[in-house]
Amino acid sequence: MNSKETWIEEKFEIKKGRALKIRITKSLEKIKSEFQEIEVVESQSFGKILLIDGVIMLTEADEFCYHEMIVHTPLCVHQKAQKVLVIGGGDGGTVREILKHDRVKEIEVCEIDEKVIEVCKKHFPNLANSFDDPKVKVYCEDGNKFIKTRKNKYDIIIVDSSDPIGPAEVLFRREFYEAMHQALKDDGIVVTQAESFFYHEKIIKSLFSFIKEIYPISEYYYTMVPTYPSGVIGFTFCSKKYHPLNDFNQSEALKLTDLKYYNKDIHRASFVLPTFAKGYKG
C-alpha cells in the first residue's frame, strides 16, 4: 500500500465476485515475520485494523463481537473451569475476555508468531495488555506440536485461529482435534473458530465429519462481525460432558457486566442455525 491509496481491499472470494473495501487514513505498520505479513492500518470507520497476509483479523470497532462469543460461551457452560489454553489469539482479545472469569486460575497461550503479539501490544493495548496478567503464560510455538505434548491438562481449549491457509491450515485437521481431546480433562470443552456458514459449507462439513466421532457432544454456533466477509463467523463447540444449552450456567452469564455483545439470550440464540445450514454439522 502506497501513500496515495485510501482504501484496503480484502479479496476474500474475488473469483466469485466478492470483495470488501474499507477506507483507511494511514498505514501504521507493515512487517514480514517468519510466517506471514502483518499490517496495521487506521481506518475512517472502524478504527485500527489488523491484517494478516491481507486478511482482516480484527478491527477496534467490532472485535468484541468475536472475542466475547468465543470465550464466554464455553466458560458459561463449564461449571468449574480453572485452566484454559488458547491456541492462536496473538492479539490478546481472547485472553482479555477469559480474565473476566475470576475462577480461572491459569491461562496458557500458544501463538506461533511472536511478532503478532509484539505488533498488537504496540497498536492494540486494550487487547494485548492482557498478556501481562500474572495468570497468563505465553508460548511462541506451533500449536499443533504443542498440544501433542499435553495430556489431561485443560478444562477448556480455545482455538482462536485465522483461516485454514498457511500456518493455521493444520488446525482444521482430524489429528489436531484428536490431540486436543487427549489434552482435555474428563469434562473438558474445546471451542474453535470454524468459518462462516454462508461461504464455507465444505469446511464446516469436513470438520463435523470427524468431530462428531471424537467428541460426545458437538455443535456449531455463530456471531456477527460486520467487517468479516459475510458478516458472520462460526465456532465449533466440542465437549466431553457439558451440553452448550442443557448445561448453560445462566447465573455465570449474569455476573458478566462489562460486555457489549454476549448475554444469556444471545448464548442460546447463537446455536439456532438457518434452515440451509442445519445439515452442515451432520
Global confidence as pTM: 0.94
Name the active-site residue from 91, 155, 160, 163. Answer: 160
Per residue in 42-72, pLDDT tens?
Answer: 998 999 999 999 889 999 999 999 999 999 9
CB atoms within 10 A of CB 115: 18
Whether the domain at 7-59 and the domain at 63-281 fall into the same CATH topology: no
Specify whether 247 is catalytic: no
Residue 273 or residue 172, greater confidence: 273
Question: What are residue 88's DSSP bridge partners?
Answer: 160
The CATH number of 63-281 is which of 2.102.10.10, 1.10.101.10, 3.40.50.150, 1.10.150.120?
3.40.50.150
Residue where the block lists cell 462428531: 212
Is the domain spanning 7-59 CATH 3.20.20.60? The answer is no
Q: Which one is predicted more confidently, 281 or 82? A: 82
Give domain limits for the chain.
7-59, 63-281
Half-sphere exposure of 192 (CA within 13 A, CB side): 30
Query: With contact defined as beta carbons under 8 Å apart, do 240 and 189 qualify?
Result: yes
Q: Rounded CA gap, 95 and 279, in Å? A: 32
- Dihedral sign of CA atoms 264, 267, 270, 272 in order: negative
**What does the pLDDT look like over 72-122, one tens digit per residue?**
999 999 989 999 999 999 999 999 999 999 999 999 999 999 999 999 999
